[in-house]
Amino acid sequence: MPTKIEKDTLSGQDTTGHEWDGLKELNTPLPKWWLWTFYACIAWGVAWVIIYPSIPGWRGTSGWIAREAIVEEVRAATERNAPMMARLREATPAQIAANDEMRAFALAGGRVAFANNCAACHGAGGQGAAGGFPSLADDDWIWGGSLEEIQHTIRHGIRANESDDQRQSQMPRFGADNLLTAAQINDVAEHVLSLTNRATDQAAAGRGAALFAEQCASCHGERGEGNREFGAPRLNDQIWLYGASKPEIVAMIRNPRAGVMPSWQGRLDAATVNMLTVYVQSLGRTN
């Protein structure tokens, strides 16, 4: 290895002694400030490893461990909230709603529980989602919007077969089970559209009116006003679970869908169900 360190005449710098085809490499050291920063970082790193738990099995000299700290914080918060949670467990939703202190706590706790358990289906603000997930933030209720009704829905669920007291009903499969012909389904769909003044074939809508009175009114009401006892939605408003268009309405009559919601009484404790009840009702107006 020919190492011939010499001064470069142009820059005045030393060369490293490496030379390729007459090209000599300059020896340009790192700036001092850079080097010192680099050493400081190494020193910082070593100190960090000693003070904090950075190596498996090493707890660090400080004794502070993020995972244990959070466990302790959660324990302290649970302990702090325990008396309030006990009150929320014992009280009825109506009592909670009427008491400023409990109500404020229930709304805050309900918001968190809703984000964790309900938002996936009902949307972050309870605004609902396409495909049968109803908005809880409006004044339109399928099963009822009183505190008792909301609590019953949350506790027992809807068609999930998880509670004997669940919300249960099933619209007949008028097409799939040949209860109505395709022509009759078209007529009754036109009648449903006419409830919101959208019928395009008045003659069909007229024929459909008789069919509706016979086949549908028992659940949806004479004028399509809905019936909460059967969870049969209003058909004479602008709010649709499964779509407002004629093809979507025809599909629903032919082979109805049926929304399912889990029962929460075995999954969430009573205080949380109460908080959710008050929170959900606060999203819409009382009805």
Tell me whether residue 91 or residue 150 sits nearer to ligand HEC (CB atom).
150
Q: For residues 112 and 276, is the Cβ–Cβ distance under 8 A?
A: no
Q: Would you tell me which residues interact with ligand HEC (CB under 6 A)?
A: 117-118, 120-122, 132-134, 136, 141-144, 150, 153-154, 158, 169, 171-172, 174, 188, 192, 215-216, 218-220, 230-233, 235, 240-242, 249, 252-253, 257-262, 264, 276, 280
Distance of closest approach, residue 72 Cβ to ligand HEC, in angstroms: 28
Tell me whether residue 17 or residue 123 sits nearer to ligand HEC (CB atom).
123
Distance of closest approach, residue 258 Cβ to ligand HEC, in angstroms: 5
Tell me whether residue 68 or residue 222 sits nearer to ligand HEC (CB atom).
222
Distance CA 219, CA 162 (A): 24
In the chain, % helix, strand, coil (3-state, to 5) comes to 50, 5, 45
In DSSP terms, 232 is beta-bridged to: 227
Distance of closest approach, residue 49 Cβ to ligand HEC, in angstroms: 45
Burial of 56 (0-12, 13-18, 19+ CB in 10 A): exposed
Distance CA 24, CA 167 (A): 87
Closest-by-Cβ residue to ligand HEC is 259
Pick from 18, 88, 4, 40: which is nearest to 276 by CA?
A: 88
Distance of closest approach, residue 240 Cβ to ligand HEC, in angstroms: 4
Q: Tell me if residue 174 falls in helix, strand or coil.
A: coil
Tell me whether residue 65 or residue 209 sits nearer to ligand HEC (CB atom).
209
Pick from 83, 77, 126, 87: which is nearest to 271 by CA?
A: 87
Instruction: Supply φ then ψ for residue 236, to 5 degrees.
Output: -105, 30
Tell me whether residue 53 or residue 153 sits nearer to ligand HEC (CB atom).
153
Tell me whether residue 105 or residue 240 sits nearer to ligand HEC (CB atom).
240
Q: For residues 152 and 264, is the Cβ–Cβ distance under 8 A?
A: no
Distance of closest approach, residue 30 Cβ to ligand HEC, in angstroms: 59
Distance of closest approach, residue 103 Cβ to ligand HEC, in angstroms: 17
Tell me whether residue 105 or residue 141 sits nearer to ligand HEC (CB atom).
141
Distance CA 191, CA 206 (A): 7
Distance of closest approach, residue 220 Cβ to ligand HEC, in angstroms: 5
Distance of closest approach, residue 54 Cβ to ligand HEC, in angstroms: 40
Tell me whether residue 105 or residue 114 sits nearer to ligand HEC (CB atom).
114
In DSSP terms, 133 is beta-bridged to: 129
Pick from 186, 164, 150, 159: which is nearest to 286 by CA?
A: 150
